[in-house]
Amino acid sequence: MSLRSPLGQAKGLGSAKEGLHHWWAQRVTAIALIPLTVWFAFKVAILSMSDYQTVLESIGSPWSAALIVSLIVAAFYHAALGMQVIYEDYVSHKGIRIAAIMGTNLLMFLLAAAAIIAMVRIALGG
Amino acid sequence: MSSNNRPLSPHLDVYRLPLSALLSIVHRGTGAFLTLGTIVLVWWLMALAGGEEAFMSAQSFMGSFFGRLILFGWSFALFFHLCNGVRHLIWDAGYGFEIGTVEKSSFAVLGVAGVLTFFVWILAFSLDIGV
């Protein structure tokens, strides 16, 4: 005899009907990252020998800053989704798996926040 | 036990992975490696935001042998994951599943990733020597 209602017992069995969202978000961020990463890689290569002031102005110009913030959001979201799949495939212990996914999500959020704060400072000066 | 002629999963230690299978696992590996690499990106942006002194010390590390080694590995991992990711998107759309096509696109992924890595480094070094 359980105190859970019949509806409560039936829920959680079978498809949660939200499996597509992860897959779709992975693709949307992937498509966004195609131009963003190519642009950023070549920009960094061009700036590799420049002095501090030149790099600061180039990275911090409005369009550049907007693209880099977009890159950061897409990249960390994409990374969190991808790492989740890796854990789900290889970590069999449920508790460790959930902890790994949650820990990675929180760390990705923190790193993205740090990068965006850095970009705000670079773009607005401070 | 009726049938013993059912296909078996490949025994990984005695089975030579076809190129497509090798690239598949390398896609995962580079994905995880790039996730770690984002820490370098955050560190570099933080250094740039932190002022000239912090930025110059970050730049001198990046310009050292070890720094360049990391950046080189990172740039190839990035371009490989990018090119193979585009191939995955094409597969998602339903194209390119023939074995011969997969073999060709595997080489194309490696080739384009190599060319992009080459160009990005040529660009950086040509500016280095002032061409």
How far apart CA A36 and CA A75 sit, in angstroms, is 9
The predicted-structure confidence for A85-120, as pLDDT tens digits, reads as follows 999 999 999 999 999 999 999 999 999 999 999 999
Predicted confidence (pLDDT) at residue A2 exceeds the cutoff of 80? no
How far apart CA B67 and CA A96 sit, in angstroms, is 33
How many domains does chain A contain in total? Answer: 1
What are the structural domains, with CATH classification, of chain B? 19-128 (1.20.1300.10)
DSSP state letters, A30-76: HHHHHHHHHHHHHHHHHHTT--HHHHHHHHHSHHHHHHHHHHHHHHH
How far apart CA A47 and CA A57 sit, in angstroms, is 11
How far apart CA B33 and CA B30 sit, in angstroms, is 5
Can you give the CATH number for the domain in which A90 is found? 1.20.1300.10
Residue A9 covered by a domain? no
Residue A119 covered by a domain? yes
Predicted confidence (pLDDT) at residue B1 exceeds the cutoff of 60? no
Q: Does A73 touch chain B (CB under 8 A)?
A: no
At B3 the pLDDT is 62
The predicted-structure confidence for B15-67, as pLDDT tens digits, reads as follows 788 899 999 999 999 999 999 999 999 999 999 999 999 999 999 998 899 99
* This prediction's pTM: 0.88
Residue B123 vs residues A37, A38, A54: alpha-carbon distances, Å: 16, 13, 17
Point out the least confidently predicted range of A33-37, A68-72, B1-5.
B1-5
How far apart CA B99 and CA B69 sit, in angstroms, is 35
* Probe site for chain B from A43, A49, A53, A59 (most B CB atoms < 10 A): A49
The predicted-structure confidence for A38-85, as pLDDT tens digits, reads as follows 999 999 999 988 899 999 999 999 999 999 999 999 999 999 999 999
Q: In which domain, by residue range, is A118 found?
A: 21-124
Q: Does A83 touch chain B (CB under 8 A)?
A: yes
Predicted confidence (pLDDT) at residue B131 exceeds the cutoff of 60? no
> Which residues from A are below 8 Å from B32, CB to CB?
82-83, 86
**Nearest CA to CA, how far is A70 from chain B (Å)?**
14
Residue A37 covered by a domain? yes
How far apart CA B17 and CA B29 sit, in angstroms, is 15
Point out the least confidently predicted range of B6-15, B20-29, B68-77.
B6-15
* C-beta atoms of B31 and A86 within 8 A: yes
Q: Does B39 touch chain A (CB under 8 A)?
A: yes
Residue A108 covered by a domain? yes
Find the helix or strand (DSSP H, E) in which A1 lies: none
Burial environment of residue A11 by CB neighbours within 10 A (0 to 12, 13 to 18, 19 or more) = exposed
How far apart CA B131 and CA B123 sit, in angstroms, is 10
Point out the least confidently predicted range of A112-121, B5-14, B53-62, B93-102.
B5-14
At B66 the pLDDT is 94
